[in-house]
Amino acid sequence: MTSKRCAACKQLRRKCPSNCIFLPYFPPNNPQRFSYVHRIYGASNVGKMLQQVGEHQRGDVADSLYYEAYWRIKDPVYGCVGIITSLHEEIYHVQSQLPKVQAQIDLLYQNGIYTFDP
């Protein structure tokens, strides 16, 4: 594994050192993963963002950067903020249904009470 260059070093056409910051998170068998974050953030910024957190959190950094880059390429205007907006709308829609359901339940309870306590 260490003798093969990671996806980042392969794309940047450089030697891949054994302590390469990209190696564990951008394996050579998934070149698209690095290609996406490279296109949106640039390799140097991705490296910085990986380096500024502890080693145990770098996998999550790489995953979330890839997710954001993927959505920015898919939706160049809103990126993954478009997903946040639509999830907020979904929650708003469900929340606006709740008072109606509650009113329906209250009415049914009220009918029950009238019946059993005339």
Least distance CB 33 / a copy of itself (angstroms):
15
CA angle 34, 40, 7 (to 5 degrees): 10
Does residue number 1 form part of the binding site for a copy of itself (CB under 8 A)? no
CA distances 21 to 6, 43, 47, Å, are 10, 11, 7
Which residue in the set 52, 55, 103, 113 belongs to the binding site for a copy of itself (CB under 8 A)? 52
* CA distance linking residue 5 with residue 23, whole number of Å: 8
Count of positions on this chain that bind a copy of itself (CB under 8 A): 40
Looking at this protein, which amino acid is placed at residue 88? H
Work out whether 2 is an interface residue with a copy of itself (CB under 8 A): no
User: Contacts with a copy of itself in 63-102 (CB under 8 A)?
Assistant: 63-65, 67-68, 72, 76-84, 87-88, 90-91, 94, 101
Backbone angles phi, psi at 113, to 5 degrees: -65, -45
Please give the residue ranges that form the binding site for a copy of itself (CB under 8 A): 40-42, 44-45, 49, 52-53, 57, 60-61, 63-65, 67-68, 72, 76-84, 87-88, 90-91, 94, 101, 104-105, 108-109, 111-112, 115-116
